[in-house]
Structure 1
Amino acid sequence: MPLYEHVFISRQDLSNTQAEGLIEHFGAVLSDNGGNVVDSEYWGVKTMAYKINKNRKGHYAFLRSDAPASAVHEMERLMRLHDDVMRVLTIKVEEHVEGPSVQMQKRDERPERRERR
């Protein structure tokens, strides 16, 4: 099955438990449609670059999944209909990177950037 990474932003006035509940809910949608969630992360409340629906901040969540395309389409459809979800981004990847995402790593644990010319 194809591998995907999903990032979604939910409204800032949700509690942390409600935002984490959205991760579980959409993971269950993937599971019900023949896929599975490999890993999920809650990145917390972050300030956005611009306002979305009069919100300056949002709860960010990240999912890694191994699911058929039909399951991903169904999850994205439900995310667009959900009132608490403001934005969704899904990317198809060749392989999942082990360990935490870059957002969850501490600055000194990240690999060094190459120098600019």
Structure 2
Amino acid sequence: MRKYEVMYIIRPEVEQEAVQAIVDKYNGIIENGGGEVSKTDVIGKRRLAYEINKIRDGIYVLVHFNATPDVVNELDRVMKIQDEIIRFLVVRDVVA
């Protein structure tokens, strides 16, 4: 398994309970695929660097996890079709 991190931005109008449900959903996708979540940080509402579809703010979430590339592909597929997610980025954590 490889180390990855994913940062995603949730729409600002989403309720706090729904934010936790979204975080649990994506952590569940990782864990159900055989991966393990090391750390999850809900950073909170921040101003975006630029407007995305007339949205100026977003709720940032950062997750560090270990998984296989198949789990990352599934996570990528699910995040693309989710309406609550504005943007996301999955990167492989390379230790020098």
Q: TM-score, normalised by structure 2?
A: 0.93
Cα drift, residue 57 of structure 1: 0.2
How far apart, CA to CA, are the structure 1 residues paired with 2:61 and 2:74? Answer: 18
Question: Deviation above 3 Å: which 4+ runs of structure 1?
Answer: none
**Higher strand proportion, which one?**
2
Q: Of the two, which has the highest radius of gyration?
A: 1
Which whole-Å deviations, capped at 9, do the CAs of 1:88-115 have from their partners, x for residues lacking one? 11111135xxxxxxxxxxxxxxxxxxxx
Tell me the equivalent position of 1:63: 63
Tell me the equivalent position of 1:7: 7
The unaligned stretches of length 5 or more in structure 1 are 96-117
The unaligned stretches of length 5 or more in structure 2 are none
Cα drift, residue 50 of structure 1: 1.0
Residue 49 of structure 2 corresponds to residue 53 of structure 1: no
Tell me the equivalent position of 1:91: 91
For the residue of structure 1 that corresponds to 2:13, the secondary structure is coil
Aligned residues: 95
Cα drift, residue 44 of structure 1: 0.4
Tell me the equivalent position of 1:37: 37
Cα drift, residue 30 of structure 1: 0.8
How far apart, CA to CA, are the structure 2 residues paired with 1:76 and 1:19? Answer: 18
How far apart, CA to CA, are the structure 1 residues paired with 2:76 and 2:26? Answer: 9
How far apart, CA to CA, are the structure 1 residues paired with 2:77 and 2:54? Answer: 23
Q: TM-score, normalised by structure 1?
A: 0.77
Tell me the equivalent position of 2:81: 81
How far apart, CA to CA, are the structure 2 residues paired with 1:41 and 1:85? Answer: 16
